[in-house]
Amino acid sequence: MPRIKTDFLVLGSGITGLFAALKLAPYGSVIIITKKSDYESNTNYAQGGIASVFAEGDKLEDHVRDTLEAGAWLCDPAAVQVLVEEGPPLVKELLNYGVPFNLEPSGKFDLSREGGHGKNRIVHAHDRTGREIEKTLLSVVKQNSNIQILEYHTLVDLITPHHLKRKGLICYGAYVLSNHTGEVFPILAKETILATGGAGQVYSHTTNPKIATGDGVASAYRAGALIKNMEFYQFHPTALYHKDGNSFLISEAVRGKGAILLNRDGETFMKRYHPMGDLAPRDVVARAIDSEMKKRGETHVWLDVTHLPSSQIKESFPSIYEKCKELGIDITTDRIPVVPVAHFLCGGVASDLEGRTTISNLSTAGETACTGVHGGNRLASNSLLECLVFSNRIAQRVSKESPEFTKAHDEIPSWNKEGMVNTEEWVLISHDLNEIKNTMSNYVGIVRSNLRLERAKRRMDLIYDEVKDYYNRTVITNPLIELRNLVIVGELIIRSALARKESRGLHFSTDYPENRNPSRIDTEIRNEKVLL
């Protein structure tokens, strides 16, 4: 059974993991693990772009204000300041790496606008920004001899003193499953970076890929890390609604170019909900669409872009145009049926401004982390920016701290699978997975109530007990690991939602009036015992 040592272990191969690896590589060996192919990540599906201040007439303080307002005044102002100030030079680094951003003839960024932004500040590569960033960074990473990527390897657990039957909050690396051989083995590291992305698969319908199962948040929680603001799960207002298609994202940039939301009767409705109309923050737009659908008993609303020139639509949104065309929708002449779906986790593993968690030698950034930059609702296109800024900060800090291997690293035991049995009962996993998704979608969605949340908690508690029993006696597989993580993520979202006695940002409860007073109260959960 292998036993690997590396200076830095990066869990995840999206923009956070790849950028962190590149920044850490000058200081030691780096191993990146990813549970599917190296390019499969939430980053690869990001369409819109990266928000950053480059335009004449735009100011850093404008971006800060838009972020704080979209976040329902729950953002950490210091974190937002760091995000906005340090973002622009890092975006330029991506350009220098070779990311094919849209540029004006002058060589300046061709900036678009999205919901919640008062100015044009979205740096983009048509409507496939994430894919282009992922492709470019992977190419650069693969040329670096200090970085190794292990594809088809899944995080099982973070290694802590618990595995030595001791107490303490220290990370020594991670136990990892090879999805090809079925072996579980330790990768020991001086510093471990959680960059596993979000958890959209906890809901029935999501823009996230199948791999987005909250592995980082769940494993950090099991290890005793502080978790914050899990109730704030963002539903993207406009995913393509089609009975034969998955939840394909229709980028916010489409509305930035002038697309209009319409109800069944062909009426515009967003001005009734927010003065910014179709460019209101995502939480407002998602609730407005949800309200219009419920009032009329509809499954979707319409996004109309047909008033724009056909050539402009095809040039600006080639991926969206082609995807809709495959499904029989010509967006240059037809309205697009859209519906809100789960999109982005604004909470996560609590981290400071340099990516530290409450566990020593464990850092985190990106969607896995709760840095405080998103507050109660993420501003459009701030996510990729967050990944760049805070992965860079992790590397800067770790390079100065120079962590070392300890005696404890050498004492870490091999994975013990004694007494575990193989099973053919895959229906148990699929049944529990569907139960989790249905429970979360039915009771912990865009609009919530105490009654719904309490029912969700009772059901999730039962599922948790079933998963715990199954996990403790069964040989580990990737589907079982993902199920184990999703039930914990579901529990964390429900418990956090029950704890917030107000409507704020993405957490809207019919039991409490909406409250956007400028105060900051975070929902915090810490596991005091080892779970599962």
Please give the full DSSP string across 423-479, using - where no structure is assigned: ---HHHHHHHHHHHHHHHHHHSSSEE-HHHHHHHHHHHHHHHHHHHHHHTTB---HH
Q: What's the total number of domains in the chain?
A: 2
The answer to the question of residue 48 being in a domain is yes
Final residue in a domain of this structure, among 341, 367, 393: 341
Q: CA 111, 199, 358 angle in degrees (round to 5)?
A: 95
If asked whether residues 64 and 168 sit together in one domain, one would say: yes
Residues 6+ apart with CB under 8 A from 472: 532
If asked whether residues 175 and 253 sit together in one domain, one would say: no
The answer to the question of residue 426 being in a domain is no
If asked whether residues 181 and 60 sit together in one domain, one would say: yes
| Strand stretches in 474-523, DSSP E | 508-509
What integer pLDDT is reported at residue 424 of this predicted model?
Answer: 63
* pTM attached to this predicted model: 0.93
Q: How far apart are CA 7 and CA 310, in angstroms?
A: 52
If asked whether residues 131 and 215 sit together in one domain, one would say: yes
If asked whether residues 63 and 47 sit together in one domain, one would say: yes
CB of 213 closer than 8 Å to CB of 35? no
The answer to the question of residue 116 being in a domain is yes
What integer pLDDT is reported at residue 516 of this predicted model?
Answer: 61
Final residue in a domain of this structure, among 341, 369, 402: 341
If asked whether residues 108 and 221 sit together in one domain, one would say: yes
The answer to the question of residue 322 being in a domain is yes
Final residue in a domain of this structure, among 387, 411, 435: 411
What integer pLDDT is reported at residue 329 of this predicted model?
Answer: 93
The answer to the question of residue 498 being in a domain is no
Domain CATH for 371? 3.50.50.60
The answer to the question of residue 226 being in a domain is yes
Q: What is the dihedral of CA 471, 435, 457, 339, to 10 degrees?
A: 130
For the chain, the first-to-last Cα distance in angstroms comes to 24
If asked whether residues 193 and 57 sit together in one domain, one would say: yes
Task: Provide the residue range defining the domain that includes 399.
Answer: 4-232+346-411
The answer to the question of residue 80 being in a domain is yes
Task: For residue 97, count CB atoms less than 10 angstroms from its CB and return exposed for 0-12, middle for 13-18, buried for 19 or more.
Answer: middle
If asked whether residues 285 and 400 sit together in one domain, one would say: no
If asked whether residues 183 and 279 sit together in one domain, one would say: no
Q: Which residues are catalytic?
A: 282
If asked whether residues 122 and 271 sit together in one domain, one would say: no
Domain CATH for 276? 3.90.700.10
CB of 190 closer than 8 Å to CB of 27? no
CB of 109 closer than 8 Å to CB of 123? yes
If asked whether residues 278 and 140 sit together in one domain, one would say: no
If asked whether residues 396 and 266 sit together in one domain, one would say: no
The answer to the question of residue 286 being in a domain is yes
How many angstroms separate the Cα of 94 from the Cα of each of 101, 123, 140, 150, 385? 9, 11, 11, 24, 11
**pLDDT averaged over 10-residue windows placed end to end, the chain, 532 residues:** 92 97 98 90 82 96 97 96 98 98 95 92 92 96 98 98 91 97 97 98 93 98 97 94 76 89 93 92 90 88 95 91 91 94 97 98 98 96 97 98 91 84 77 95 95 97 94 92 98 96 93 72 80 42
